[in-house]
Chains A and B, each alone.
Chain A
Amino acid sequence: MSYESFHKYHPIVNFLYFASVLLFAMALKHPLSMLISFVSALLYAIQCDGKKALLFTLKLCLPMFLLTALINPLFNHEGVTILYYFKSGLPLTLESIVYGLCSGGMLVTILVWFISFNKVFTSEKTTYLFGKIIPAMSLVLNMTLRFIPRFKHQLNTIIEAQRSLNSEATNKSLISKIKFEIKILSIMLTWSFESAIETADSMKSRGYGLKGRTTFSPYRLESRDKAILTMLLLLIALLVFGMCLSVFSFDYFPVISKISLSPVNLCFYFVYFALCILPVLLNILEDRKWKSIHSNL
């Protein structure tokens, strides 16, 4: 696995990056911007998850891509370049095929973005960000995450206990299996609520519900976070400006537009690429720096 350090940045930096990248991936339908987004997503996914990311892309995303690309022309008959007529009399158009390929590509890109998102944006960061806006809900989420591993363990303990008590109960038909599951859940239900009374007592005893609750986090907004944050905001602003200039607009119907490579457009594509590739770049730079420090020793 290669080096990944973007997750060490402040959660706000992480959040802003992923939110902007995902939204742009959904909004920009220009083939070039899609290509930029896909390449960056894949590179970052590989940095985060190694070979697994590649495998995932091939195994799951490729069939999805093909499926979407195939389905679209079946339902979409817009466009002027008619290639063939279906039995129903509806046309198969070149434009709908191209559009199918592009929308398949977009879906895959978003899925690939989520590989790195799942790795970098951990539950801690989610609850931290929620904690600022909706503190009570964030606490619920926090406690849910606390209970889950515990309940899983307890469920397994209950299953074992019930098996040792009733060895016949488990190897029968579907219905008896489901009955067994419900029995387990039912035991679990009482157990979890009874034990959670003490949790509530512990919360009250430590002053939950007093006025003026603050939220604490171990994250600190360092100067490097501020620098990256400024950069991100700048890039996003530029891109929105570019969108207003319709640099990224692209029509598939009725006729596919031409890709214009004017200098202005190229500049904006570069800005988009800079935004998408940012964490990959940061990782490479930090990796280099680390190596140079060590080779100097």
Chain B
Amino acid sequence: MEIYSFKSVNFTYPSQEKKTLVDISFNINQGEFVILCGPSGCGKTTLLRHFKTILTPQGDFDGEILFKSTKLCMADAHTQAKEIGFVLQSPENQIVTDKVWHELAFGLENLGVDSLAIRRRVAETASFFGIENWFYKNVNELSGGQKQILNLASVMSMQPSVLILDEPTSQLDPIFANEFLSLLAKINREFNTTIILADHRIEEAFPYASRVIVMESGKIICDGEPKSVGLELKAHDSKIFLSMPTAMRVWAGLNTKLDCPVTIREGSEFLEKRANEKDFLPLPQKNATLNFSETVLQCKDVWFRYEKNSPDILKGLSLTLKKGEFYAILGGNGTGKTTALKVLSSLKKAYRGKFEASGKTGLLPQNPQTLFIKNTVIEDLYEVLEHKDISKEEKDKKVIRIASLCKLTSLLHRHPYDISGGEQQRLGLAKLLLTSPDILLLDEPTKGFDAEFKMTFAAILKKLTEHGVTILAVSHDVAFCAEYANRCGLFFDGNIVTEDSPREFFSGNSFYTTSANKMARHILPKAVTVNDILLCAGGVPKNEIKIDDDIINTPPPMQKGKNIKSKSLPLPLWRKILAFFSALVALGVLISASPLIDASVFKSDNIIIWQYGILIVSMLVFIFATSRKKSQPIVRKATDRQPLSKRTVFATIAVVILIPLTLLAGIFLFDNRYFGIIAILVLIECMLPFLLIFEGRKPKAREIVIIAVLCALGVAGRSVFFMFAQFKPVTALTIIAGVAFGAQTGFLVGATTILASNMLFSQGPWTPWQMFAMGLIGFIAGLLFNKGFLSRSKVGLSIFGALSAIIIYGGIMNPASALMWSPETINAQVIIAYYVSGFPMDLIHAFATVIFLLLGAEPMLEKLDRIKEKYGLVK
């Protein structure tokens, strides 16, 4: 049965002129296993996203897509959610909930399946995928491979008839990747589920496929069985061939009439037949002219563990690196390879053994995104040199040289997150190179690359070694290491077990070796790469990519005009004077009251109360003097403004009646006895409308994600940065959230951050108070800054931050602690006493918030603006 049918589909992204999909037509039948391949940026992902309406990107669409012979866009959302399963690239990002069992049930919950049925389906799925043992675990305890299996399982629990996968194995290491692919094959075989898979790991996936579709620059260039694809592509002489399985590449490099082999076994048979036809030449020696003598890094018997009582990770690691060589460390997962890199780059210190490096080491992390700060590639490159004492010209020269070396010149004005994975890796490398390291340490540098990217990357590395840079890479990519490394070492159980030149290394191993070697070992025992085989068999080896030595000398134009802020009118003089004096007063009070400067704790209460008052008043004056009307209010989509639902109206009325009722009951019924309880009740009643309005609005996935991300940022920040008791970014982040996303989001972010963080640290009677106080800060920030009462400037934000820390947070928490501590003797004096004792803490809190907002608010808000655009929240 025909399940999908694409009829001359064309697609163009809004900001682009070139079509991303050009005249795509094909049919897919139930039960097929289709591999979609092509180089990065050929439109694979865009095509896959057209298989499900809800994931289809915005843009200019033309053509027709049929799903089970009805138009796809006519198929209702429920059917699509159930029938079409989609697994995305990153194992981490797709997981929505925090427990394995909940993740499995998530899709079924959305479909509205009842509890009993969910229980059964979840149980079934868990046992099919072997999840029983980690069913109750937190998802963050799982390995990358387990996470991807969980993603697959939670899609399969919905029993889809089609499974679409967009590079699901690119973030996994080879062993898990193979396991994952064989699971797919099992699903395809046993349930007749149609599978459409886009992947770089073609070598392993090809044997399972019943059909291969190859794309290049938005067009389908060939479509058919794996074998016939080989034939067609050979005629085409396409670059794509670089990423085809080893056997096919060998076959294509030889002029032969034999059948195209696909698997290693077939390749091996093919070579045997070929050997009967024509004698093989002896393997030519690799030109051993490269002579490495100077030692740049040496470590001997290095031992390392993370904590005193944890097991050793490095156990007597010994390694010598020579200047200008490329050394590759291979080995299984969890053997300590990444840890070794951390020790070698001096991020961690070994507790025993000798370690010497002559020259600077630089570590390129596995995920280069951890290095990107700015909004364009070029700004990010300059950022590295920001604090270096060198002239502007020299900086320009350096940046240009490195940018052209890493082939970034055409990408300079793109956003670092908008370029592809391979390009990001090159940008990371470029940033690292700007610190001019002598020894480069690379962690899985080719993860998720396609074949062409690998070649470019290898060429860059080659150029670097020619300039005397030493490279040490940790990798799972055996083919890459066999082709380009000077020496390879096998890492096992905390040290390097064996090391040799790639040819000796791989031909000596029987399991841990390249596909080319597995295929050819019975005839050519020393051949470890496709080129080795081709050289012996009289074929044409592929050339390497060369990087030109000439350097573009004209500096790339910095993009101007975009970042210049529209200048606002100057303030009138009286306002300036007022602002100046009020700032002076506030500063004076801050200094005189600051416990850091003034050690005399025992001041009389009156003075502190005066200080308190003066500080607040002076800041209010300042904020009034400097405030401007905001020029451009944020445009929200009209769909966000929905009419009030019945639930919301009901909630509001209920609350309006409830609060006075509670208070009255407290006073008359209980004679003011249960002060604490009444206060907490009122507090909860105050928070209820926010929650109920949020519920009533039926928030969309993206909105929920935004709030969760902001909350998690606050909590994670709170736990990672321990400087002082009150020196945490929570308040600042809540304010930023309110300003960027509006009052309601501000409230929810503030309150939820506190709730979640107290869940992890410690819950107590203070929780509801803190939630309310923080929520209020976010709410008021959103109200004041979005309705244009205050200007969204650095200063305005910081002043607001200080005020909210003192007036709102301190203003609520101080009487709250009075209530908690001595509930029956509440009087003005007690409350003032608590204010006074809490004042130093409030000051530190305010100070921290101000510093954070002064330094961080602008860049963060700028970043959030981009995010809002990406999430489709702004027009």
Residues of A within 8 A of B (CB): 22-23, 26-27, 29, 68, 71-72, 75-76, 96, 99-100, 103, 106-107, 110-111, 114, 117-118, 121, 123-124, 126, 134-137, 139-166, 168-169, 175, 177-179, 181-183, 185-218, 252
Contacts and interface: CB of A to CB of B under 8 A. Distances in A.
Given A186-B859, A198-B88, A192 B827 contact: no
Contacts of A114: 762-765
B109 A144 contact: no
B695 A206 contact: no
B289 to A, nearest CB: 33
A113 to B, nearest CB: 9
A197 B700 CA distance: 13
A206 B81 contact: yes
A181 B111 CA distance: 43
A99 B705 contact: no
19 contacts: A26-B674, A68-B822, A75-B827, A96-B825, A103-B824, A110-B820, A111-B765, A124-B99, A140-B748, A143-B704, A145-B759, A147-B708, A148-B712, A154-B370, A155-B720, A189-B713, A189-B863, A193-B870, A202-B93
Contacts of A76: 822, 825
B431 interface: yes
Given A144-B756, A163-B347, A187 B367 contact: no
- The 9 closest A-B CB pairs, nearest first, are A207-B81, A147-B712, A151-B716, A143-B708, A198-B93, A207-B110, A212-B112, A146-B98, A206-B107
Contact of A179 (B158, B717, B855): B855
B764 to A, nearest CB: 5
A118 B115 contact: no
Contacts of B706: 193, 196
Interface residues of B, number: 123
A152 to B, nearest CB: 5
Given A103-B822, A151-B716, A111 B701 contact: no
A200 B158 contact: no
B704 A136 contact: yes
B708 A140 contact: yes
B98 A137 contact: no
Name the residue in A75, A193, A195, A212 with the highest tally of chain B Cβ atoms < 10 Å from its Cβ: A193
A185 B55 contact: no
A169 B388 CA distance: 11
Given A107-B820, A137-B694, A164-B347, A149 B138 contact: yes
Q: DSSP majority for the A interface?
A: helix
Given A26-B677, A141-B752, A165-B432, A136 B851 contact: no
Interface in B800-856: 820-825, 827, 829-830, 833, 851-852, 855-856
Contacts of A208: 106, 110, 701
B357 interface: no
Contacts of A152: 716, 719-720
A220 B54 CA distance: 35
Contacts of B256: none
A277 B752 CA distance: 32
Interface of B: 52, 54-55, 77-78, 81-82, 86, 88-90, 92-99, 101-102, 105-115, 118-119, 122, 136, 138-140, 151, 154-155, 158, 342, 345, 347, 362-363, 365, 367, 369-373, 384, 387, 417, 431-432, 435, 673-674, 676-677, 691-692, 694-695, 698-702, 704-709, 711-713, 715-717, 719-721, 723, 729, 748, 752-753, 755-756, 759-760, 762-765, 820-825, 827, 829-830, 833, 851-852, 855-856, 859-860, 863-864, 867, 870-871
B86 A205 contact: yes
Contact of A190 (B717, B830, B863): B863
Given A196-B705, A202-B94, A210-B110, 8 more contacts: A114-B763, A146-B139, A146-B708, A147-B711, A175-B851, A201-B55, A205-B81, A207-B77
Contact of A26 (B81, B112, B676): B676
A136 B77 contact: no
A96 to B, nearest CB: 8
A78 B820 CA distance: 20
B94 A189 contact: no
A69 B98 CA distance: 43
A65 B711 CA distance: 34
A124 B136 CA distance: 11
A214 B114 contact: yes
Contacts of B92: 150, 195
A202 B88 contact: yes
Contacts of A168: 387
A140 to B, nearest CB: 5
Nearest to B719: A152
A133 B713 CA distance: 26
A182 B855 contact: yes
A215 B109 contact: yes
A45 to B, nearest CB: 13
B716 A162 contact: no
B764 A111 contact: yes
A204 B342 contact: no
B109 A214 contact: yes
A20 to B, nearest CB: 12
A172 to B, nearest CB: 11
A273 B661 CA distance: 32
B109 A209 contact: no
Contact of A185 (B387, B432, B713): B713
A207 B708 contact: no
Given A26-B676, A194-B417, A205-B86, A103 B701 contact: no
B369 A216 contact: no
A149 B141 CA distance: 10
A103 B98 CA distance: 40
A271 B49 CA distance: 63
Contacts of B81: 205-207, 210
B53 to A, nearest CB: 10
A79 to B, nearest CB: 11
Given A168-B387, A191-B370, A205 B54 contact: yes
A214 B113 contact: yes
A198 B365 contact: no
B816 to A, nearest CB: 13
Contacts of B820: 107, 110
A196 to B, nearest CB: 5
Contacts of B52: 205
Contacts of B106: 203, 206, 208
B241 to A, nearest CB: 31
A122 to B, nearest CB: 8
A250 to B, nearest CB: 10
Name the residue in B115, B372, B709, B859 with the highest tally of chain A Cβ atoms < 10 Å from its Cβ: B709
Nearest to B141: A149
B367 A141 contact: no
A182 B733 CA distance: 11
A199 to B, nearest CB: 5
A161 B367 CA distance: 9
A110 to B, nearest CB: 5
B752 A162 contact: no
Nearest to B697: A136
A141 B698 contact: no
A178 B704 CA distance: 30
Contacts of A187: 370-373
B713 A157 contact: no
A204 B729 contact: no
Contacts of A185: 713, 717, 729, 856, 860
B868 to A, nearest CB: 9
A153 B712 CA distance: 12
Given A136-B704, A160-B342, A206-B81, A214 B118 contact: yes
Given A185-B856, A200-B705, A209-B698, A214 B112 contact: yes
A155 B674 CA distance: 44
Contacts of B154: 206
Nearest to A123: B759
B94 A142 contact: no
Nearest to B820: A107
Contacts of A197: 702, 705, 870-871
